[in-house]
């Protein structure tokens, strides 16, 4: 990494109790080794078994929350709820979701902040560079198979037919879901079942040209043990699976929600979930049986009469926080190194190196300066 | 230095510009370079001031030699000791090549071996493997299926063996007929799409199950990564259950090595091994006869196999490789190989150091 002197702050996240993720010592060490001042908030990494001494050993100083936010570049996975601890001119590096968070963008601009949204850092082909679709798929399927083993004890008997998983959507997450499904969402479970001689899994994937085919879908649902939503809908105001169709699923079937679209009924047009009526979970609670109170919190007017056990989590990668942060740390290391070499966001050139170009694409500046006719889907 | 006539891949002019920016004093391209990807001499000369065209000997005499497919043994002998060779070297399956590189003192950097700590390849075009193969397979199915474009036909059934990275990409491609434009065209006509069923070894090893599945399959894709390449996943006799008009697509592209004991065979037994010159095999193709004696080929379906699927779209492939290699070449041109640090340094430096032949051999 270069030698330009920027300081970095790593605050903690205060979300639900189940949110245990923080950036890990190796990322801090890679920055500190360049001579940069790195401040980590006291208690960082404690959700994953790390202590302040691990971060001190990596070269960080330990400070309070305000100190962590008072640096040139502030790196925190999920967006802070408030930006008042950030000084004007600071660069916030976080999952900021510019396209769907207009009020957040406005506040960043109003406060004179620079920002790089981790979810918008893309290479020249449009591939995200800080992303963990594998964990979304594997953690979701792991939870779904755990739930299935309870709703369908026959899963662990040799007499059953192969388990059937229907994956709607063949994109980035769907692709990982296929692999996860064929391994029961967990390589240990797969090895154990294999040793017992249990039949494996048929992972059936359908794209848009069949998910829109009601006759096909209703017939297929009756044969399915786990139904996975990994779609990217063109029209999020319409569900793919009507709540009434869930009646076709066997009673023991589990619905696995990897998309986690919210219900936004006040938006224009409104957003509803791909599988109508299912509740949304979070890191505190992501397996929701048919009698779970979460069903009662689904907005009124959305039918919820047909219910199956649902596995849903707003942040699937956080289920296994350490693995998640190891990956994000590896992905972020060269990007922060590039940011350092360029002396911050203002130094990023549109015709620079591939990583520089990717960082620039993820910046608030690029988002604000995007062509007016750019359509965001 | 192309291996077959259908091999059209060469790095694009933009890559020459990258090399010059990275500090190359002299860039030599073999006469005729770029013709297969539609890039002329003037484009290359315009992209890099320190570039010239020369003979193959000139090219092999440089400090760094960059070529996608590994040069022949004869050409390797002509590379100077101490030079860096950046190519798809496939160390694990080419022990003789590793020995030759080490013996000659050539600093091999295997493009297929440049991986991050998570084992993810940094220079690859698996998307090209999956999409190009799947597109060609559906072209063949469309030719043979009388109602392919008809809204009343049933969904097509694809069975994909293997759920790794190529398998996952093949699933994506297959749900789109390997061709997004065809998919849109058929969607407008309300033609039912494609159902792709992926099965792994815990199902493929059950003959009854797999034969039943094959009986309802329109396209069988081999995207396996076998632990034991001496045993097929689908023995040839099981193919008897595959409908007569079904198509087999070989994305794994494992070669037959019948002179070894035990012999190495393809995942789907009896499928011929293709290349960029010839990758579609009708059931009466002489390529089947060439396998007779070593491999059972009694049950035949139209099969597609190519040892270099990305080469079907050479320009796209080389754009991708060029972009992926940019940081690699920056390192190679800035520092001698013996200073690359496999444990420290940037993520690229660590990955390149691990892909260097001497360090790889020491680990192996």
- How confident is the prediction along chain B (364 residues), in pLDDT tens digits per residue? 667 778 899 999 999 999 999 999 999 999 999 999 999 999 999 999 999 999 999 999 999 999 999 999 999 999 999 999 999 998 887 888 999 999 999 999 999 999 988 788 899 999 999 999 999 999 999 999 999 999 999 999 999 999 988 999 999 999 999 999 999 999 999 999 999 999 998 899 899 999 999 999 999 999 998 888 889 999 999 999 999 999 999 999 888 888 878 888 899 999 999 999 999 999 999 999 888 778 999 999 999 999 899 999 999 999 999 999 999 999 999 999 999 999 877 889 999 999 999 999 998 8
Q: Phi first, then psi: what are they for A209, rounded to 5°?
A: -75, 0
Using alpha carbons, select from B251, B242, B293 the residue that is nearest to residue B273.
Answer: B251
- Is the Cβ pair B203, A202 closer than 8 Å? yes
- Tell me the nearest-neighbour CA distance from A309 into chain B, angstroms: 24
Q: Name residue B264's beta-bridge partners.
A: B257
Beta-carbon separation of A210 and B116 below 8 A = no
What is the token pair recorded at A100?
Answer: 């769907």
Q: Please indicate if any CB of chain A lies within 8 Å of the CB of B320.
A: yes
Residue B130 DSSP SS3: helix
Across the interface, do B200 and A183 touch by the CB < 8 Å criterion? yes
B263 inside 8 A of chain A by CB: no
A200 neighbourhood in chain B, CB within 8 Å? 199-203
Query: What is the enclosing helix (H) or strand (E) of A332?
Result: helix A321-341
Say whether residue A178 is in contact with chain B using an 8 A CB cutoff.
Answer: yes
**Any chain B CB within 8 A of the CB of A24?**
no
Q: Could you tell me which of A65, A143, A155, A196 has the C-alpha nearest to residue A315?
A: A143
Nearest by CB to B171, from A202, A205, A220: name it.
A205
Q: Do B320 and A208 touch (CB under 8 A)?
A: no
Interface ipTM above 0.85: no
B168, B191, B346 member nearest A175 (Cβ): B168
- Between strands B280-281 and B247-250, the pairing is unpaired
The shortest CB-CB distance from A334 to any of B176, B195, B347 is to B347
Residue of chain B nearest A355, judged by CA positions? B327
CB contacts, 8 Å: A333 with chain B: 346-347
pTM exceeding the 0.90 threshold for the entire prediction = no
Question: Please, how many CA atoms are within 13 Å of residue A55, restricted to the half-sphere of its CB?
Answer: 27
Tell whether B209 is within 8 A of chain A (Cβ).
yes
- Give the best residue of A26, A159, A168, A202 to mutate against chain B (max B CB count within 10 A): A202
């Amino acid at each position: 990494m270069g030698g330009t002197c920027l300081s970095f702050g790593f605050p903690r996240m205060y979300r639900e109790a189940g949110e245990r993720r923080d950036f890990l010592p190796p990322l801090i060490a890679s920055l500190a080794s360049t001579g940069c001042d790195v401040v980590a908030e006291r208690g960082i990494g404690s959700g994953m078994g790390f202590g302040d001494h691990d971060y001190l050993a990596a070269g960080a100083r330990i400070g309070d929350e305000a100190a962590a936010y008072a640096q040139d570049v502030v790196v925190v996975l999920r967006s802070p709820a408030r930006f008042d601890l950030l000084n004007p001119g600071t660069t916030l590096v976080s999952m900021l979701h510019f396209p769907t968070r207009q009020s957040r963008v406005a506040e960043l601009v109003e406060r004179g902040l620079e920002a790089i949204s981790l979810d918008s850092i893309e290479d020249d082909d449009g591939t995200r560079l800080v992303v963990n679709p594998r964990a979304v798929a594997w953690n979701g399927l792991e939870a779904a198979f755990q739930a299935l083993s309870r709703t369908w004890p026959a899963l662990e008997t040799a007499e059953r037919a192969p388990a059937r998983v229907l994956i709607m959507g063949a994109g980035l997450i769907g692709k990982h879901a296929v692999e996860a499904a064929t391994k029961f969402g967990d390589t240990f479970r797969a090895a154990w079942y294999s040793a017992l001689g249990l039949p494996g899994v048929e992972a059936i994937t359908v794209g848009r040209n069949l998910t829109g085919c009601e006759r096909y879908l209703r017939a297929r649902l009756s044969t399915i043990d786990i139904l996975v939503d990994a779609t990217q809908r063109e029209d999020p105001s319409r569900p793919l699976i009507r709540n009434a169709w869930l009646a076709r699923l066997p009673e023991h079937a589990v619905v696995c929600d990897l998309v986690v679209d919210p219900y936004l009924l006040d938006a224009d047009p409104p957003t509803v979930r791909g599988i109508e009526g299912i509740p949304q979970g979070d890191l505190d609670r992501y397996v929701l049986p048919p009698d779970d109170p979460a069903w009662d919190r689904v907005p009124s007017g959305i039918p919820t009469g047909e219910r199956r056990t649902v596995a849903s989590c707003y942040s699937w990668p956080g289920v296994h926080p350490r693995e998640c942060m190891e990956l994000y740390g590896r992905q972020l290391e060269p990007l922060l190194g590039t940011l350092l070499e360029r002396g911050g966001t203002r130094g990023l050139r549109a015709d620079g190196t591939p990583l520089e170009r990717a960082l620039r694409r993820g910046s608030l500046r690029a988002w604000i300066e995007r062509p007016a006719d750019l359509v965001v889907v | 230095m192309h291996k077959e006539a259908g091999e059209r891949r060469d790095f694009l002019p933009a890559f020459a510009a990258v090399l010059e920016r990275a500090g190359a004093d002299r860039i030599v391209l073999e006469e005729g370079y770029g013709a297969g990807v539609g890039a002329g001499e003037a484009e290359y000369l315009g992209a890099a001031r320190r570039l010239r065209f020369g003979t193959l000997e000139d090219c092999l005499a440089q400090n760094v030699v960059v070529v996608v497919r590994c040069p022949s043994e004869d050409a390797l002998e002509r590379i100077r000791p101490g030079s860096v060779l950046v190519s798809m070297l496939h160390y694990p399956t080419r022990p003789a090549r590793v020995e030759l590189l080490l013996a000659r003192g050539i600093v091999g950097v295997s493009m297929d071996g440049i991986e991050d700590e998570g084992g993810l390849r940094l220079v690859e075009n698996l998307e090209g493997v999956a999409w190009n193969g799947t597109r060609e397979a559906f072209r063949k199915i469309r030719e043979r299926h009388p109602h392919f474009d008809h809204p009343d036909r049933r969904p097509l059934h694809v069975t994909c063996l293997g759920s790794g990275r190529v398998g996952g990409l093949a699933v994506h491609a297959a749900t789109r007929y390997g061709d997004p434009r065809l998919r849109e065209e058929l969607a407008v006509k309300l033609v039912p799409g494609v159902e792709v069923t992926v099965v792994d070894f815990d199902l493929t090893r059950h003959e009854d199950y797999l034969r039943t599945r094959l009986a309802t399959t329109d396209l069988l894709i081999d995207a396996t990564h076998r632990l034991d390449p001496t045993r097929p996943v689908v023995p040839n006799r099981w193919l008897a259950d595959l409908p007569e008009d079904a198509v087999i697509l070989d994305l794994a592209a494992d070669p037959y090595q019948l002179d070894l004991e035990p012999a190495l065979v393809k995942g789907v037994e009896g499928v011929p091994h293709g290349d960029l010159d010839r990758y579609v095999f009708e059931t009466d193709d002489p390529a089947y006869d060439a396998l007779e004696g070593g491999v059972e080929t009694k049950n035949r379906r139209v099969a597609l196999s190519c040892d270099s699927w990305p080469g079907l779209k050479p320009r796209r492939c080389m754009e991708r490789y060029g972009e992926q290699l940019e940081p690699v070449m920056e390192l190679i041109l800035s520092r001698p190989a013996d200073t690359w640090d496999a444990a420290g340094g940037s993520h690229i430096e660590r990955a390149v150091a691990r892909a260097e032949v001497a360090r790889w051999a020491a680990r192996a």
